[in-house]
Amino acid sequence: MRLRNVKNAKEIVKNHPLVINEVVENTFPNKKAIHLEIGMGKGDFIINMSKKYPNINFVAIEKYESIIVKALEKIDKSDNLRIICMDAKNLNEIFNEKIEALYLNFSDPWPKKRHAKRRLTHPNFLNIFENLFKKEVNIFLKTDNKDLFAYSLVSLSNNGYQLIEVSLNLANSDISNVETEYEHKFSGKGETINYLHATKKI
């Protein structure tokens, strides 16, 4: 996603109480399940998920401070939501065997074949993700990009994942859904959203 730089974004992110550097014993005031979103955008999905499911702890990963600032502007306070500014390739450093669900919402499709290794459903990333979970990997993916979706279905299947739910038109399915800001915009224009839930025992 493209976003203009926000003035003092680095300082705002650094000093905000909901922004953390790592997940430690006292990150949340309880021992409840942790769900992770990679690439939170302006935060609509993860903020609304944290409100809808107060008994789950949520962590959002975002690489760019200016985007995080836009999300922080929508949050007054939260006991079950934290944000980390980092690159997804370093997830193993702070999430080893800690999470129970992973959300990949409208990730960069990296359409050129030579950039396939940058896709978040490439086997290299799937190997990283598996170290984040305790016993069973649960990946939830949404995208409007049909090529990325097709690639993801094949990559997940080839790497031992079971596809629990698949939809080529999420809005017309009976799958429970919390929209991202991107999804809301494009669904309103009649664009179809692809969805999958994949699991793997580890």
Tell me, yes or no, if 87 is annotated catalytic. no
Mean pLDDT for the chain overall: 91
Is 186 within 8 Å of 146 (Cβ atoms)?
Answer: no
Helix (H, G, I), strand (E, B) or coil at 169: coil
Q: Which domains does the chain have, with CATH numbers?
A: 9-201 (3.40.50.150)
Q: What is the pTM of this model?
A: 0.93
Checking if the pLDDT of 1 tops 50, the result is no
Element spanning 20, H or E: strand 19-20
The residue type of 64 is: Y
Choosing from 44, 79, 87, 108, the catalytic residue is: 108
Say if CB 171 and CB 192 are below 8 A apart: yes
> What residues contact 171, with CB distance under 8 A and at least 6 apart?
177, 187, 192, 193
For the segment 88-133, what is each residue's pLDDT rounded down to a tens digit? 888 888 887 789 999 999 999 999 999 999 999 999 999 999 999 9
pLDDT digits (tens, 9 = 90+) for 156-186: 999 999 999 999 999 999 999 999 988 888 8
| Residue 184 to residue 139: CA distance in whole angstroms | 21
Angle at 36 between CA 97 and CA 127, to 5 degrees: 50
